[in-house]
Amino acid sequence: MTGLIPKVDYPKRKQPSRCVTVCLGLLCAVLLAGNIGQFVYYEIIIQRTSADPTQAGTNIQGGQSSYDALTAERTQLEARLTNLTQEKHQCQQSYNSLTQKYDQIQSNHKNLTASKDQLLTNQGNLQSEREELQMSMIMLRENRDQLQSNYTSLKSNKDQLQRSYNALNVSKTQLQISYSSLEIDKEQLQTSYNTLQKENDQLQTNSSNLQSEKEELQMSMIMLRENRDQLQSNYSSLESNKDQLQRSYNTMSVSKNLLQISYNSLWRDKEQLQTSCNTLKREKNQLQTNYSSLATDRDLLEKRINKLKGRPCQAGWRKFDISCYFVSNAKKNWTLSRQDCISKGGDLVVIDSKEEQVFLNGILAVRQNAWIGLTDSLEEGTWKWVDGTPATQTFWQPGQPNSFNGNQDCGEIVPKSTGVGEWNDDGCFSEQIWICER
């Protein structure tokens, strides 16, 4: 691994730049010392000249030439100073440039140092990997040796198997021949087996059919036995029924004779009923004739009623519906009152409707009780009108008729200022007004 990255001698690589820097520094110091020396020299000369004016006259000529020489020398020195200044500027520029390069190199050095550290780390890792790989290689070599020995063993086994295979191949050929022979035998046996299978199926079918026939026969036998038992019981039942029927026949014979007698009786009744029916038919025809006659009479009566309704009453009589009414002024007992009405062609009033009751109540004054044609003299408690009809619609006072003292058999009307008026039973001998109707 050391060959992959070449080693760099950084201290050696830094040496040229250091030398250049030192040289430039020394050059600058020399130039500065020259300038200082020249300045000192001129100061001393000027002081000597001003301090000794006597010698000056003598030395003016020599001094003028020295001055010229010094001026020329000064000019040369100034030219050299200018050159040196320019060189110093150039050196300064070079120094700056070198300083920049130095900084650049310094940063590169830092980067390279970091890279080196990284590479060293990588080298360490790679060394450990190499060691692992070496361990693996050792193990692989051991495995290879093991496999080599296994291979040798397998090779010997393979040779042995090859020999066995050859022997088996020979056996296989023999077995192939035997298999072909057995195949032929098997086909023959298969044919025989199929034939036997068909025969077996046929026999199986026959056996099933016979089994079902056997079961059907057994069922038939059981049913026949049951039928026999049923017939046996039916026979016994019929035997008893026959005896019962014989007894019933005897009874029926007696009943038949009785019925014959009843039939004869009924026949006679039927003939009588036929006669009655004929009679009733004749009566019906008669009633029909009567009905027709009554209808004719009804029509005649309606005509007469209409005629009566239009008939005027005599003087002193009042008209209501088809009747005329007479109210007496005199007072008599019930019997004499009735005789008076009969003598006038009518009878005591028969009240046969509420309207008639209202009319009579209206023509009488209050407390003016009057006889009407009502009596129970023929049978106590049975009130009848003078025309013989029973009193159906009545207007009795509460508690009446009471047949007071057992001697009240004649009816009177008791007029009222409100309502329709009431009736009371009174003694027939009492004398009071009466009302006739005709």
For Ca ion, the binding residues (CB under 5 A) are: 350, 376, 402-404, 408-409, 424-425, 437
376/422 with CB nearer Ca ion = 376
Instruction: Give least dist CB 356 to Ca ion, A.
Output: 5
84/360 with CB nearer Ca ion = 360
Instruction: Give least dist CB 381 to Ca ion, A.
Output: 7
Structure tokens at 240: 């008893």
- Residues 355 and 323: beta-carbon distance below 8 Å: no
Listed in sequence order, the residues at least 6 apart from 13 whose beta carbon sits closer than 8 Å to its beta carbon are 105
422/437 with CB nearer Ca ion = 437
Instruction: Give least dist CB 376 to Ca ion, A.
Output: 5
6/399 with CB nearer Ca ion = 399
The three-state DSSP-derived secondary structure of the chain is: CCCCCCCCCHHHHHHHHHHHHHHHHHHHHHHHHHHHHHHHHHHHHHHHHHHCHHHHHHHHHHHHHHHHHHHHHHHHHHHHHHHHHHHHHHHHHHHHHHHHHHHHHHHHHHHHHHHHHHHHHHHHHHHHHHHHHHHHHHHHHHHHHHHHHHHHHHHHHHHHHHHHHHHHHHHHHHHHHHHHHHHHHHHHHHHHHHHHHHHHHHHHHHHHHHHHHHHHHHHHHHHHHHHHHHHHHHHHHHHHHHHHHHHHHHHHHHHHHHHHHHHHHHHHHHHHHHHHHHHHHHHHHHHHHHHHHHHHHHHHHHHHHHHHHCCCCCCCCEEECCEEEEECCCCECHHHHHHHHHHCCCEECCCCCHHHHHHHHHHCCCCCCEEEEEECCCCCCCCEECCCCECCCCCECCCCCCCHHHCCCEEEEECCCCCCCEEEEECCCCCEEEEEEC
119/350 with CB nearer Ca ion = 350
Instruction: Give least dist CB 373 to Ca ion, A.
Output: 8
Instruction: Give least dist CB 353 to Ca ion, A.
Output: 8
62/406 with CB nearer Ca ion = 406
117/431 with CB nearer Ca ion = 431
Report the alpha-carbon distance of residue 79 to residue 87 in Å, rounded.
Answer: 12
91/385 with CB nearer Ca ion = 385
Instruction: Give least dist CB 340 to Ca ion, A.
Output: 17
Instruction: Give least dist CB 319 to Ca ion, A.
Output: 13
77/386 with CB nearer Ca ion = 386
Instruction: Give least dist CB 363 to Ca ion, A.
Output: 13
Instruction: Give least dist CB 264 to Ca ion, A.
Output: 60
403/432 with CB nearer Ca ion = 403
Which amino acid, 428? Answer: C
Instruction: Give least dist CB 339 to Ca ion, A.
Output: 19
